């Protein structure tokens, strides 16, 4: 009798845990963050495109149950809302926006929806890095990660805990190579005059470079209000490529930082920097749901220095696949002549 009653109580408690897991999931869902893993919480979340369900296990002694709950679909990208993905191109690219320019001659070799103004996610950090580098601030100065650097926009995680101290150079390295959001925000916050002054300088620099379609509101790219066009980003890549610090940090395959008694290993968010088939001089990736998967690069293909811009790619690996398609196309056609393809849409506000 005691065993039956005990079992009944156990099953009742088990059902309670299942109900609790479902409630926690509904309350705790947050958009996927830019180039960063979601924050650890009571429910494990996976990025859109990786999984359409969430799995949470509760252990009770030797017994374990698994609750499978369907995820709420991520919001569509601004490019998808504008119908940019319906535009077909010769290379069958998965990015809704693409631009390939000869860096020396400024000749446009390939373009697709290149005038569309869209969120740019962590491509923002390329401008962040440019402002920090040009300010000539001491790279060995220690900067403290504070609560102000914690992402409240998308809820992204970070291994740089509040209270961590790193040099400005290390933060810049992590921001460009691994798209570390807290590192980028701390760089802006530690700028003379603070974050507001830093963002003002970002926008002033964009205007000076002729980036007429570009606007920044913060230094990480987590906000969908950071927006630009493919042509503007090509201008930024060309300028940033002239900076040896940005070239080195953005193309570094990996980097270790000492945090207290821990050593953290960071890797580049762009796997192409490790590929022997690529000669990349500068790169930056980006992702938030509103922007899709993004990639900009300076590279050398078939003897030509190229600037490549890919925005609003649908799949996690599709921006890399698009870069590979362009490279193979250029190797087969060193002097291509391809008409531009685009829609009439210029800007989408979501």
User: Going residue by residue through the chain (350 aa), what tens digit of pLDDT does each one get?
Assistant: 444 444 444 444 444 444 444 444 333 333 334 454 444 443 333 333 333 333 333 344 445 555 554 555 668 999 999 999 999 999 999 999 999 999 999 999 999 999 999 999 999 999 999 999 999 999 999 999 999 999 999 999 999 999 999 999 999 999 999 999 999 999 999 999 999 999 999 999 999 999 999 999 999 999 999 999 999 999 999 999 999 999 999 999 999 999 888 899 999 999 999 999 999 999 999 999 999 999 999 999 999 999 999 999 988 889 999 999 999 999 998 777 665 566 544 555 55
Instruction: For residue 87, report the phi and psi dihedrals to the nearest 5 degrees.
Output: -80, 125
pLDDT at 343: 52
Which residue out of 115, 122, 133, 318 is catalytically annotated? Answer: 122
Angstrom distance (rounded) from CA 130 to CA 116? 24
Which residue out of 45, 94, 112, 125 is catalytically annotated? Answer: 125
Residue 58's alpha-carbon distances to 6, 17, 39, 40, in angstroms, are: 19, 8, 19, 16
Does 45 participate in catalysis according to the annotation?
no
Does 229 participate in catalysis according to the annotation?
no
pLDDT at 66: 55
Superfamily of domain 78-332: DD-peptidase/beta-lactamase superfamily (3.40.710.10)
Q: Where in the chain is the domain with CATH 3.40.710.10?
A: 78-332
Give the three-class secondary structure for 283. strand
| 134 neighbors 244 (Cβ within 8 angstroms) | no
| 213 neighbors 231 (Cβ within 8 angstroms) | yes
Does 179 participate in catalysis according to the annotation?
yes
- 190-193-194 Cα angle (round to 5): 45
Which residue out of 179, 223, 289, 318 is catalytically annotated? Answer: 179
The contacts of residue 87 (CB under 8 Å, 6+ apart) are 96, 112, 113, 341, 342, 343
Angstrom distance (rounded) from CA 322 to CA 301? 14
């Amino acid at each position: 009798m005691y065993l039956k009653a005990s079992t009944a109580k156990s099953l009742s408690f088990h059902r309670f845990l299942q109900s609790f897991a479902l409630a926690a999931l509904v309350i705790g869902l947050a958009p996927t963050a830019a180039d960063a893993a979601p924050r650890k919480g009571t429910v494990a979340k996976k990025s859109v495109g990786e999984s359409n369900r969430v799995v949470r296990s509760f252990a009770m002694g030797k017994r374990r149950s698994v609750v499978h709950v369907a995820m709420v679909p991520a919001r569509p990208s601004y490019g998808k809302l504008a119908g940019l993905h319906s535009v077909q191109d010769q290379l069958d690219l998965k990015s809704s926006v693409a631009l390939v320019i000869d860096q020396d001659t400024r000749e446009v070799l390939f373009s697709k929806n290149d005038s569309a103004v869209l969120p740019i996610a962590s491509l923002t950090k390329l401008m962040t890095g440019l402002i920090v580098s040009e300010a000539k601030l001491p790279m060995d100065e220690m900067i403290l990660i504070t609560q102000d650097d914690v992402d409240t926009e998308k809820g992204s995680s970070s291994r740089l805990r509040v209270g961590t101290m790193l040099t400005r150079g290390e933060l810049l390295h992590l921001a460009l190579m691994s798209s570390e959001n807290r590192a980028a925000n701390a760089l802006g916050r530690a700028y003379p005059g603070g974050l507001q002054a830093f963002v003002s300088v970002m926008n002033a620099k964009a205007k000076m470079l002729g980036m007429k379609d570009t606007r920044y509101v913060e230094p990480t790219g987590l906000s969908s209000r950071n927006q630009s066009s493919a042509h503007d980003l090509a201008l930024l890549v060309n300028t940033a490529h002239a900076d040896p610090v940005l070239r080195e940090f953005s193309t570094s395959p990996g980097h270790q930082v000492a945090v207290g008694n821990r050593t953290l290993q960071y890797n580049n968010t762009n796997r192409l920097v490790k590929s022997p088939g690529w000669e990349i001089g500068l790169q930056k990736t980006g992702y938030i749901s509103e922007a899709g998967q993004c990639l900009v690069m300076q590279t050398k293909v078939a003897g030509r220095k190229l600037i490549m811009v890919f925005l609003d790619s649908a799949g996690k690996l599709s921006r890399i696949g698009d870069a590979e398609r362009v490279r193979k196309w250029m190797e087969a056609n060193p002097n291509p002549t391809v008409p531009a393809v685009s829609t009439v849409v210029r800007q989408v506000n979501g």
